[in-house]
Chains A and B, each alone.
Chain A
Amino acid sequence: MITVSSVSHSYDDTSLVLDDVDLTLPRGALTALIGPNGAGKSTLLSAMARLLSPDQGAVRVDDLDVLRAKPDVVARKLAVLRQDNHLTARLTVVDLVRFGRFPYSKGHLDAEDHEIVERSLDYLQLGEFRDRHLDELSGGQRQRAFIAMVLAQDTDYVLLDEPLNNLDLRHAAAMMQLLRQAATELRKTVVVVLHDINFAAAYADHIVAMKGGAVMATGSPAELMRTEVLRPIFDLDIEVHEIGGRRVCLYWHPEPATLEAPARDDIHAESSSG
């Protein structure tokens, strides 16, 4: 269980990015953090994973005080991946994934470490890219290589900031499927920042909706996927429909297309960072 208690943070003393957040995330579940850009999702995720130390408040994972415990102890309990990973180092995929074992091996990998590394590579179907350099891969393949590193870290808690960035539809669905499996079969606690509410509704057990540095609503997908809950959070004319027993959000309202109209690409702008 992840417990966030009265966490506040500001980047430049002018406005609060996180405003006294209290939150409890259930163990063994897949939790999605949703909300508009600037809601504080990524900052909250970073604070939970001690990538930044918030101005105020505490974060506990089970009985571990994340912000004060020894760094390597936390790294065996919790893995985290930020969204943009530009490396100055020139690494191959397998080099990168091996770093996932660092909290255990401190750089001296034994046979078991190597086995876990190979398993993570297989899990993300990276076998054929194993010895390729990361800068020779597509954005999606790179993303999967980083996820493989996180899996090799073999922690009970996995925190991912927008893992679907750079992934096409097929790989995005496969990624969510994989995270779903990790929660169900491996009993891992997975927390993801997502932009697509429909992905969150389809795969998550638990959704946390944020806006303006505060948690606006938490609950199961069924509880959250309601027009009156979502509209004020996104300031958007959202319709919720039920298709084949699943709730689906419609949030785009295109004008009827005319022949002269230029191609619209507003929808793609949605994937920009938050």
Chain B
Amino acid sequence: MTTLHSLLELGSTPTERRRDRAVRLSLLTLAALALASCAAYLLYDVQGSWSYALSLRSRQLGALVVVGVAIGVSSVVFQTIAGSRILTPSVMGFDSLYVLIQTVFVASLGGAALTLGVVERFVVNAVLLATFGVLLFRWLFRRNSRNLYVLVMIGIVLGAFFQSLAVLMSRVLTPDDYLTLQQLTFASFTTVNPTLLGVAALVTVAGLAALVPMLRQVDVVDLGKDNAIALGVDYHRVVTRVLLVSVLLVAVSAALVGPMLFLGLIVANLARQVVRTNRHRALAIGAGLLGAVICVLGQFIVAHVFGLTTTFSVVVNLVGGVYFIILLLRTTRL
């Protein structure tokens, strides 16, 4: 009986076994790629002191991996909860919210915003973002659980709204405060505070640990609200919790390095194409690995090919923006 059981777990027909092997192979390949890109990032073209280079690079690498994993995993589960492959927290106006919060921050504190301890600022940012994010998404999902087109439109309108509020407020800032604001709102991996990185890594790990036991229920939520309820999933509880965790993860990565508008969209959709399964345990691992690969390789290329003449977030937004438009044009079903 146990042999039959394990056989069936693998998939009971050749077609299924082939599919399961393909999933496992894609995960292993992604893991190998992630390791290789991390090694390349640490060791390629070191000049001068090795210990200095390694300590600086490992800090940057840590931030890249934390952000990649956090954004990848949170976007993939968020997509499922939202029932759409185009919605990610960022697309729903989350990044504009981040910029708005920073603007309010600078407008009320002035240059002191920078002198305030980094960890305090990080905590305030993460808490504000997570709270606003959950409130925002709860409201959106309750109001419009039926119509995704409306949801996308509201997200885009809200994003524009937050953006223009932020722009309006930034107009009345002094030039010095405006510079402070720019420093806060451009994603940067080159300067990472080690304490901040530690806190962010810890919160990310805690968030992932909270997410793992819910992933099998998320598989069911993928069938839509009615089917999920029919199959005995406590739909509202699962949706609220997954939403909370994914918003927390995005908030942490935004507070660590700044907003990465289209990164989640790219990573989540690529992960679904590479890891061809509907099981979210595999999908989440794939998205986390892929997120790390894209971040590490992206920053590596920006540093060594473009010689830091541009930033990774600019490249991501350029590529991601084009990809977003292609997705919009290609999908008939949002």
On whether the beta carbons of A75 and B223 are closer than 8 Å, the reply is no
B327 to chain A, nearest CB (A): 13
B230-276: which residues lie under 8 A (CB-CB) from chain A? 230-235
On whether the beta carbons of B230 and A81 are closer than 8 Å, the reply is yes
A-side interface residues, number (CB < 8 Å): 38
B75-126: which residues lie under 8 A (CB-CB) from chain A? 80, 83-85
For the complex, what is the distance from the CA of A50 to the CA of B231, rounded to whole Å?
11
B113-151: which residues lie under 8 A (CB-CB) from chain A? none
B12 proximal to A (CB < 8 A): yes
On whether the beta carbons of A111 and B231 are closer than 8 Å, the reply is no
Q: Which A residues are CB-close (under 8 A) to B171?
A: none
B198 proximal to A (CB < 8 A): no
B15 proximal to A (CB < 8 A): yes
On whether the beta carbons of B5 and A110 are closer than 8 Å, the reply is yes
Spot the interface stretch: A18-26, A83-91, A181-189: A83-91
For the complex, what is the distance from the CA of A101 to the CA of B235, rounded to whole Å?
17
On whether the beta carbons of B8 and A49 are closer than 8 Å, the reply is no
A82 proximal to B (CB < 8 A): yes
For the complex, what is the distance from the CA of A114 to the CA of B5, rounded to whole Å?
9
On whether the beta carbons of B13 and A111 are closer than 8 Å, the reply is no
Q: How many contacts A-B (CB < 8 Å)?
A: 79
On whether the beta carbons of A82 and B229 are closer than 8 Å, the reply is no
Q: Which A residues are CB-close (under 8 A) to B5?
A: 110-111
For the complex, what is the distance from the CA of A131 to the CA of B11, rounded to whole Å?
11
Contact with B along A190-229 (1 / 0, CB 8 A): 0000000000000000000000000000000000000000
Contact with B along A222-246 (1 / 0, CB 8 A): 0000000000000000000000000
For the complex, what is the distance from the CA of A202 to the CA of B233, rounded to whole Å?
36
Given contacts A110-B5, A111-B1, A131-B16, contact A87 B224 (CB under 8 A): yes
For the complex, what is the distance from the CA of A72 to the CA of B275, rounded to whole Å?
30
A148 proximal to B (CB < 8 A): no
Q: Which A residues are CB-close (under 8 A) to B330?
A: none
Chain B, Cβ-Cβ closest to A131: B15
Given contacts A88-B333, A110-B5, A131-B13, contact A74 B223 (CB under 8 A): no
Q: Which A residues are CB-close (under 8 A) to B224?
A: 85-87
Out of B80, B233, B333, name the residue touching A71 (CB < 8 Å).
B233
B113 to chain A, nearest CB (A): 41
A60 proximal to B (CB < 8 A): no
A249 proximal to B (CB < 8 A): no
On whether the beta carbons of A85 and B84 are closer than 8 Å, the reply is no
B220 proximal to A (CB < 8 A): yes
For the complex, what is the distance from the CA of A121 to the CA of B291, rounded to whole Å?
38
For the complex, what is the distance from the CA of A148 to the CA of B82, rounded to whole Å?
26
B304 proximal to A (CB < 8 A): no
Of the four ranges (under 10, 10 to 19, 20 to 34, 35 or more), the interface on chain B belongs to 20 to 34
Out of A79, A88, A109, A130, name the residue touching B230 (CB < 8 Å).
A79
Chain A, Cβ-Cβ closest to B232: A75
For the complex, what is the distance from the CA of A94 to the CA of B333, rounded to whole Å?
24
A100-115: which residues lie under 8 A (CB-CB) from chain B? 100, 102-103, 106-107, 109-111, 114
Q: Which B residues are CB-close (under 8 A) to A109?
A: 8-9
On whether the beta carbons of A51 and B230 are closer than 8 Å, the reply is yes
On whether the beta carbons of A88 and B216 are closer than 8 Å, the reply is no
On whether the beta carbons of A111 and B8 are closer than 8 Å, the reply is yes
Beyond the given pairs A85-B227, A102-B220, A109-B9, 11 more chain A to chain B contacts, judged by CB atoms under 8 angstroms and listed by A's residue number, are A71-B229, A71-B235, A81-B227, A85-B224, A87-B222, A87-B224, A88-B222, A94-B16, A103-B232, A111-B1, A111-B4
| In the A-B complex, the 8 residue pairs with the closest CB atoms | A75-B232, A107-B216, A72-B232, A131-B15, A103-B232, A89-B222, A102-B231, A80-B230
Chain B residues with CB under 8 Å of chain A are 1, 4-5, 8-9, 12-13, 15-16, 80, 83-85, 216, 219-220, 222-224, 226-227, 229-235, 278, 333
24 of the cross-chain contacts (CB-CB < 8 Å) are A50-B229, A51-B230, A71-B234, A71-B235, A74-B232, A79-B230, A80-B226, A81-B227, A81-B230, A86-B333, A87-B223, A88-B80, A88-B83, A88-B222, A89-B222, A91-B278, A94-B16, A96-B223, A99-B227, A100-B231, A107-B219, A109-B8, A109-B9, A114-B8
Chain A residues with CB under 8 Å of chain B are 46, 49-51, 70-76, 79-82, 85-91, 94-96, 99-100, 102-103, 106-107, 109-111, 114, 130-131, 153
